[in-house]
Amino acid sequence: MSFPHLHVHSAYSMHYGVTMPEELAEQTAAQGSDFLAVTDRDGLYGAIKHIRACIAAGIRPGLGADLAIHDDEHRPLGRVVVLAHGHTNGRGYAALCRLVSAAHQNGSKKPSVSRERLAFLAGMNSLTVLLGPTSDVGQAIERRDGTEARQRLTAWTRAMPAGSVTLEVICHLAEPGNPGSVTPATRMLSLAENALLPAVLTNAVRYGTPDEALTADIADAARMLTPLAELEDLQTNGQAWLKSGQAMRQVARMVVDAGPREPGAVDQLIRDTEQLAEKCALDGATDIGLGRPRMPEASVIGVTGDPLTELWARGRNGVDERYAGSTLLPDAHRALEHEMRTVEQLGMAGYFLTVAHACDLIRNQGIRIQARGSGVGSVLNYVLHTSSVEPISNGLIWERFLSPERVNLPDIDIDVESAKRHDIYRMLFKEFGSERVTLLSMTNAYRGRGAVRDAGLALGMDDADIKEIAGQMWRFNARQFRQALKQNPELAGLATAVQEDQQLDMLVDLTQRLDRLPRHIAVHPCGVILSDRSLLDRTAVQASGMGLPMSMYDKHDMDPLGLIKLDVLGVRMQSAMAHAVAEHRRLTGETIDLNRVPLDDEPTFELLRSTRTLGVFQLESPGQMELVGKLQPEVFNDLTVEISLFRPGPMQNNMPLQFLQARHGEVAPDYIHERFKPFLQETMGVIVFHEQVMRMFDELTGCGLGKADVLRRRLEKPDELPAIESYVREHANLRGFSDAVVNRAWTVLAGFGAFGFAKAHGAAFALPTYQSAWLKTHHPTVFFAGLLTHDPGMWPKDLILAEARSLGIPILGFDVQTSGLEYRVEETADGIQGIRMALVELNGSSEAERARIAKHQPFDSLQDFRDRVRPKRRTFEALARVGALDSFIGYDRDRRHELLAHIQSLQGSALHIGDDQLALNIELPPLGYEGNRFKAVTSLELRGRTQTDLELRDLNVAVSNHQMSRFHDLFRELGVTPAAKLIDLPGGTDVLIAGVRRATNTPPTRNGIGRVVFLSLDDGSGPVANAVVFGDAQQRIGGKVFRTSYMLIRGKTRRSGARGVSVPVDDMWDLFDVQRKVKARLKAEQRDADAHASAGVHHVEPVAGWHLRAV
């Protein structure tokens, strides 16, 4: 029996509804109903998912929102449900979007919209408002105040357009005297009868099935941040589920029976409900606009005529400009024509012009920009300067990006300088107009830890206990918490506790229930939606954290809704390179155009082959260093291949090894068939790229590249493989391939599905990789200033400083006279360029303090500094300790004790001196009388500490020296091999290595090997040494593998390739323990030596390579 539910909260009513829209739609269809409205609280977050779920389930969708309303004087009028009318050419849906946006307009955490605004938007028969128990009318009824209820209702009918107000009868069959009981429901029905208004029956649904009522209890506790035991507004009972038609008719009968009614009142109530549902049934295409892409209007992107004509003209001019003098010119024109045919057929000219326009805007601001993703395969994008990678010579394919066979909208991702991302957003809003642009949102769902915390909160568990359990909630799916307790050995303790404690047992259930439910909405890190003027009629918006409006829809909703999403990704390396280029220009007046740097620069490849890739985009991890060493890149394409190989899928399937063996001539490349050789040659017969799969499909079947991409995508779905296989076999045989060849080709294709990579993507990554390597090779000083300022990579800054130092770049100390907010390059007295430490590194200093230092430097005197900067005492002392104030003591480090003592003795607050005033110039330290009174001062904070100790304490980095130089005497004593010398040793050499831990990796390993831990150790001799801890050694060494910061390791060298060396670990010690023991031993030996002066003394032969310990 059918019943149309008009008031339903999905799980996108965060912390309120607990069932996903898809489940609600399926349940509705299974119950024999053909209509379902979703009316989430305060938003349309689940709207598109609901509409699509309904279409998939074969039922009609309705859409609304549950909103707080206020009157002209901002007095609350309770909550109402507002439903959009369907078959209005989108007018109802647009009014709903605008209404929800209006509710969020003031940016408050408690959205509310004025009745006046609601009345305006409900005009022209667009919306229906349901006044139910939570409205001011319903609240009066609940208080048994009939007069008030009638007056309130009159206010509504006066304010709203005729026919837009309906009363909503809800009965959850609660005990008499409680909300949700039959009495207020029947009174509501009477009120409608008396006022001659229609009434509808709803169930104010919060969950699909009665079983989920318990989840709603937890949601209430989480929303109110209150344990269930203390919660005052518990749901009355568990009846707010998506009831069947029969169950709803039962409710109707009970409500009608509870008051004096004419016969037929039940049928009337159901009929009115069905009629309203009829009115609110939305059409996906005409009401919501599904499947119809809408680009910004031509005029907005500076096009006056037909966009297609314009694109043709720009494309042709672009080819002539980009390919001027290139042998590829004719090919490029042909490619352009090929691409333009698809663009024309799909009506996408506006899209290309829009994206190109956005890119032009960004570029014209002098911001570095780089397209990535499949769009890089397009000549059109290249000639429009949307992308910077030349697609033809890189063997990229247009059809990987766009083809008539594709059903989705194309996607172009743009990498920009991370530091400029927000500026870019604001610029796009300004250029396109805020009616055409919004940011994209994303829904964060519950995961294990969050779920266990909120479940624990609901049960009123102790914070510390919850924290303890939450700490163990990882590496398994929280929906399978109970199963994980049985299976995972590391959870054995918790499993026992759960068996013994009922509360913990409930916690497991509750956690499983919460997992994966939407939890909160946040701005997407890079998505911007660009559309035409109608955008705000098709998406509701709310303010994002940065103040710009954000759509309530997420990336999955974009494609169905025909919305163009531009991913503007902030990439720190782009900022780092921009900083380097800017520093170079500041110092020399020369401008480096990185996009015009030749891609065949031999010294750059030499650097890459040497594996000194620390700081190079994508290639600086230990694993990448090892692979680049083995691969020995010679041309740009090698970098594309390298980046594409270094990913979990290929690594786990041993593809790098197959490729390397063929590349270095150890085995012959296997192309399966001569006809595959042209596209498999670049990877020595190993299929690495999507583009190769597409070409193989095309060669085997003659299906064309567009269809080949569709087939490639289907490879990811295991149940589609048989159909694809028979298609391939049928056509391949006709095209002259033997069964043996087809068998082998199919094995490769079928096995590839899971881990391919778009070459377009790899090539787009390879470009900044090459550019950063080029900068490191030719302009290392400015490049390191960029790295230190924007910190783009995986390594700690201390190691980046160490790398710079070992390349011979002087690191200039922290100095309030010259240190800026960013790292800058300075020419030293002897004409060498060095990098000046930036102010940001000072621990505990505030942004305002640093800004004042940068603004007022240089300073005449300490007094001047104090008065203008007004540092906190802590900052002031830290500056003195690290030597940033040495300029006030003539850079005489020995006087730092006096300086610090003086600063500590200062009383009272600093004078406030205006920017245009001169400071009082008092000689400091004020030794005016009694001569050298402070001569003997020794600050305890400085005593016995080296400059490095002080720097590590206050800056977290060692500036003047490598922090490991403290240990170099010890290393000599122990016979530790310097990391830089490991490469000279044959494999299998017993070595001791030591250093500070710089990175710990547990990368994906080939199946069956078990977890391997990679440690990167820095001993100050040059590059990091890579130590490998295999399973047995992990057992032996235990927690030290992850916990020791300074360590000594014994192992044997293992060589891999020309530049690859690592040390599998046999044993490991804490370096400080070793230091203590050696000191004790030396002391004892010294005593022995003194006692037996005549006896022979044992000398440890010093190992070459350790610098003399710095003083």
> Could you list the residues that contact other proteins (CB under 8 A)?
172-176, 182, 210-211, 213-214, 217, 228-229, 234-239, 246-247, 249-250, 253-254, 257-258, 458-460, 502-503, 505-506, 509-510
DSSP 8-state secondary structure symbol assigned to residue 207 = B
Listed residue (624, 638, 588, 632) closest to 606, CA to CA: 632
Q: How far is the CB of 514 from other proteins (least distance, A)?
A: 12
CB distance 845 to 870 below 8 Å: no
Q: How many CB atoms lie within 10 A of CB 26?
A: 17
Nearer to other proteins, 457 or 1074 (CB): 457
In the complex, least distance from residue 441 CB atom to other proteins, rounded to whole angstroms: 32
Q: Is 580:591 a contact under the CB 8 Å cutoff?
A: no
Determine the 3-state secondary structure of 416 from DSSP. strand
Question: How is 455-505 classified by DSSP, letter by letter?
Answer: HHHHTT--HHHHHHHHTT--SS-GGGHHHHHHH-GGGHHHHHHHHH-HHHH
Nearest distance, CB of residue 458 and other proteins, angstroms:
8
DSSP states along 369-392:
EEEESGGGG-HHHHHTTS--S-TT
- Any bridge partners for residue 1004, and if so which? none
Please report how close the Cβ of residue 261 comes to other proteins at its closest, in angstroms: 11
Nearer to other proteins, 213 or 569 (CB): 213
Q: How far is the CB of 173 from other proteins (least distance, A)?
A: 5
238 versus 1060: smaller Cβ distance to other proteins: 238
| SS3 of residue 702 by DSSP | coil
Nearest-5° Cα angle at 553, 549 to 558: 110
* Crossing angle between the packed helical segments 421-432 and 349-364, to the nearest 10 degrees: 130
User: Minimum Å distance from CB 38 to other proteins?
Assistant: 23
* Omega prior to 858 cis, within 30 of 0: yes
Q: Which is nearer to other proteins, 174 or 1071 (CB)?
A: 174
From 101, 63, 98, select the one nearest 82 (Cα to Cα).
63
Alpha-carbon span 187 to 153, nearest angstrom: 13
Cβ atoms within 10 A of the Cβ of 208, count?
22
Q: Which is nearer to other proteins, 502 or 591 (CB)?
A: 502
Name which of 98 and 249 has its Cβ closer to other proteins.
Answer: 249
Nearer to other proteins, 239 or 640 (CB): 239
Residue 199's nearest CA partner among 187, 213, 208, 211 is 187
Smallest separation, CB 206 to other proteins (Å): 12
- Shortest approach of other proteins to residue 273 CB, angstroms? 17
The nearest distance, CB 482 to other proteins, in angstroms, is 12
Q: How far is the CB of 251 from other proteins (least distance, A)?
A: 8
Instruction: Give the residue with the Cβ less far from other proteins, 509 or 720.
Output: 509
Bridge partners for 992 per DSSP: 1050
Rounded CA separation 228/465 (Å): 18
- In the complex, minimum distance from the CB of residue 229 to other proteins, in angstroms, rounded to a whole number: 7
Number of neighbouring beta carbons within 10 Å of residue 780:
21
Instruction: Tell me whether residue 255 or residue 694 sits nearer to other proteins (CB atom).
Output: 255
Pick 502 or 909: Cβ nearer other proteins: 502
The rounded distance, in Å, linking the Cα atoms of 610 and 806 is: 15
At 73, give phi and psi (nearest 5°).
Answer: -100, 25
Q: Nearest approach, Cβ of 214 to other proteins (angstroms)?
A: 5
Q: How far is the CB of 233 from other proteins (least distance, A)?
A: 12
Smallest separation, CB 435 to other proteins (Å): 46
Residue closer to other proteins (CB basis): 249 or 897: 249
Report CA-CA distances (Å) from 786 to 717, 780, 845. 44, 10, 22
The residue among 100 and 494 lying less far from other proteins, judged by its C-beta, is 494
Distance (Å, whole) CA 350 – CA 973: 71
Q: Is 832 left (phi over 0), alpha (psi -120 to 50) or beta?
A: beta
* 172 vs 690 by CB, closer to other proteins: 172
Over its C-alpha atoms, the chain yields an Rg (Å, rounded) of 35
> In Å, how far are 137, 675, 784 from 958, measured between CA atoms?
69, 58, 15
CA distance 863 to 885: 11
Which is closer to other proteins, CB of 494 or CB of 708?
494
Dig out the tokens for 456 from the structure.
Answer: 């624990």
Minimum CB distance to other proteins smaller for 216 or for 937: 216
Report which DSSP code applies to 754: G
Q: What's the rounded Cα separation, in Å, for the pair 883 and 818?
A: 13
The CB-of-18 to other proteins minimum distance in angstroms stands at 12
DSSP annotation string for 566-578: EEEEEEHHHHHHH
C-beta of 211 vs 606, nearer to other proteins: 211
CB of 56 to other proteins, least distance (A): 29
Complex with other proteins: residue 236 or 434, whichever CB lies closer: 236
Query: Smallest Cα–Cα separation from 193: which of 256, 136, 142, 135?
Result: 256
Q: In what order do the strands lie in the sheet with 824-827?
A: 811-812, 833-836, 824-827
- Nearest approach in angstroms of CB 20 to other proteins is 20
Tokens of 723: 């159909």
Q: Are 667 and 793 in contact (CB under 8 A)?
A: no
Q: Which is nearer to other proteins, 456 or 834 (CB)?
A: 456
- For residues 11 and 9, what is the distance between their CA atoms, to the nearest angstrom? 7
Distance in Å, CB of 258 to other proteins, minimum: 7
